[in-house]
Structure 1
Amino acid sequence: MRPDIPDGPDSPERADGPDVLDSPARPQAPVGWHLTRDLDDFLDRAGDFLASRPALHTVPLTVVDSLRRRGPHVYGDEDPVFGVLGGDAPGDGDGDADGDGVRGVFFRTPPHGIYLTSLTEEEADALAATLAAAGHRFPGVSADRDTAAAFARAWSRRTDTASRLALRQRLYRLEELTPPEPAPAGRARVAAAADRDLLVRWYGEFSAQVGAHPKQDGGAWADSRIAYGGITLWETPDGAPVAMAGVTLEVAGQIRVAPVYTPAGLRGRGYAGAATAEVSRAALASGAAEVLLFTDLSNPTSNGLYQRIGYRPVADFAVHEFT
């Protein structure tokens, strides 16, 4: 079972991983992490830091926004846990808008894995020591490629737990939209309440396709997306839906395309590319400064498609799972 990260990379790869750094050195001095289950406390400490790098922090930005809007248990029954490295306690700092005092954050929404922003070897090792000493256990870690590898090594060493590279993704940013030509016959339309059952079914099929336990209840997911127009369907000239492409809400100037899905029997006809181009166009028209998406690095077809549409690589990410 993959260690899901809510609303994170949507198309995993199961393949050999990237090169990783040598074993991390032990920190020469304690690296302090502030842990909390209070979302407001976390945002007071780390909100500016997350917003200062909206592309690289797209997953924590959208997850935290969902927790703020929909409550702490949208991804699971247990309370989330958050961590902040560095920075001042609320009210103690100089109010810098770029979050300079914060060096990294993590979050976890049980039962899913832990998600990290970029950390050094020393910082990853200190976090692993802090969480292990506090009795935390989780099925995996997701982060940029090097941070995920560093934390996985540290966690394995601290807890005598085996780890393996399970997933690889690439984050892309839209530069200049070039809709695919020729477009398939049909049109795009925003999903409405009458499409709820279809969205619930496709959400389940998509989760199964990527080897994931659904990140949240399918009905709740569909209701949330319908409420803000977050799913666009591509339908044939006779009105039959054949693909969907979703978008997250805008947070800190960024919108992420997720998920993109075409039922197995309808693939290879350009439906997903057309739907993706349409939601990308709409995101730009809404005023988003950055439009992002994650791809499956094992799928050259989708990577090639997104690059032809106008997406360009930003960074590679990985998930390591623990056994």
Structure 2
Amino acid sequence: MTLRESAIMIDMKLQVHRYSSVDEFLATTGELLAAREAEHNLMLGICSTIRADPERFAEDPPTFATVTDAAGRVIAASLRTPPFNQVLSWTDEPQAVDALVDALGDAPLPGMLGPKEPAARFAQRWTDVTGQTTRVEVAERIFRLERVIHPLRPAPGTWRRGEAQDRELLLRWWLDFLAEAMPEQAPPPDPGAYVDRWIASDHQWIYLWEVGGEVVSLVGAGAETPNGVRIGPVYTPPEHRNRGYASALTATASQDQLDRGRSFLFLFTDLANPTSNKIYRAIGYEPVCDVDMYRFGAGPVALDP
């Protein structure tokens, strides 16, 4: 056992290991996460963000954990970048989820996100251990794309990359997107700094759709995985909706990312929004699995980066 890792014995069969290094965590969980890259795109994307911009997380360092069985096989993993939610991997071992919760039970978690069944187990165990209430805040679905189906009738306009000159528009639309998509959630700390990093990053992309010189839609891409990247956010202000701009731009952004050598792309959808789910499927995105974001206690859950 090193200073970077501590192990907690759970009924002499499972071990919970904690790490402070993203590289150690990835070295340990590589096989587990790679086996279901789409399901784990958020976790892998957060790890790539930490590696690309470690100073961003220096003030409140990320925490990582794994659960191993009696044979030493990693059967579950979890991470958190405070003050954001705990993120849980896929696992078919309910006891592994219990072990994680038991190890994290003294942490002041605002909420968690994970594949539907493991997340439900985590939430129930959290209530049993801490006495806090839990509820599903957002029910989501992960989609994956390997080939773009371009709209038969493309919307008028052209796309371009977002630049520093777009900062005020990007900040306003980012906050509008969060307020609309997750109205009960706390905005991320210092959204202006978030947008500044977004513009300056070599690992994130901003796509804008213009009609007659006016920007009418936004699509982001980032949070790289070993073979892919996540698309999002996707936002069109109300006055420009129902004209095909988001479909055209999402298809364009997706094609651009595939042309950069990605094997596939991912995105999250809100199951309460059937329109967006239909649009993404028309472009070529296929459903992979459902994930739930839980809120713990009465406080607002901070949004993940």
TM range (shorter): 0.7 to 0.9
Residue-by-residue CA offset, 1:241-274 (whole Å, 9 max, x unaligned): 0110011154301111111011122211111111
Are 1:122 and 2:105 an aligned pair? no
Structure 1's unaligned 5+ residue stretches are 1-26, 94-99
Aligned pairs for 1:37-48 within 5 A: 37-48=20-31
* Structure 1 letter corresponding to 2:40: H
- Report the Cα offset of residue 221 of structure 1: 2.8
Are 1:292 and 2:263 an aligned pair? no
Moved over 6 A (4+): none
Residue-by-residue CA offset, 1:189-229 (whole Å, 9 max, x unaligned): 11122112211221111111122333353333333333336
In the alignment, is the contact (CA less than 8 A) between 1:72 and 1:79 conserved in 2?
Answer: no
Taking the aligned partners of 2:31 and 2:20, their CA distance within structure 1 comes to 18
Are 1:69 and 2:44 an aligned pair? no
* Aligned counterpart, 1:82: 64
Taking the aligned partners of 2:232 and 2:35, their CA distance within structure 1 comes to 22
Taking the aligned partners of 2:51 and 2:190, their CA distance within structure 1 comes to 17
In the alignment, is the contact (CA less than 8 A) between 1:73 and 1:79 conserved in 2?
Answer: no
* Aligned counterpart, 1:139: 110
Taking the aligned partners of 2:11 and 2:21, their CA distance within structure 1 comes to 30
Number of residue pairs aligned between Structure 1 and Structure 2: 283
In the alignment, is the contact (CA less than 8 A) between 1:72 and 1:80 conserved in 2?
Answer: no
% of aligned pairs identical?
Answer: 35
In the alignment, is the contact (CA less than 8 A) between 1:139 and 1:322 conserved in 2?
Answer: yes
In the alignment, is the contact (CA less than 8 A) between 1:231 and 1:245 conserved in 2?
Answer: yes
Are 1:233 and 2:204 an aligned pair? no
SS in 2 for 1:32: strand
Taking the aligned partners of 2:287 and 2:22, their CA distance within structure 1 comes to 31
In the alignment, is the contact (CA less than 8 A) between 1:230 and 1:249 conserved in 2?
Answer: no
In the alignment, is the contact (CA less than 8 A) between 2:43 and 2:79 conserved in 1?
Answer: yes
* Aligned counterpart, 2:243: 269
- Report the Cα offset of residue 87 of structure 1: 8.2
Taking the aligned partners of 1:83 and 1:151, their CA distance within structure 2 comes to 14
Aligned pairs for 1:131-280 within 5 A: 131-132=104-105, 135-211=106-182, 212-215=185-188, 217-227=190-200, 228=202, 230-236=205-211, 238-280=212-254
TM-score (norm 2): 0.86
TM-score (norm 1): 0.81
Compare 78-87 and 259-268 and name the one that shifted more: 78-87
* Structure 2 letter corresponding to 1:82: F
Taking the aligned partners of 2:295 and 2:116, their CA distance within structure 1 comes to 13
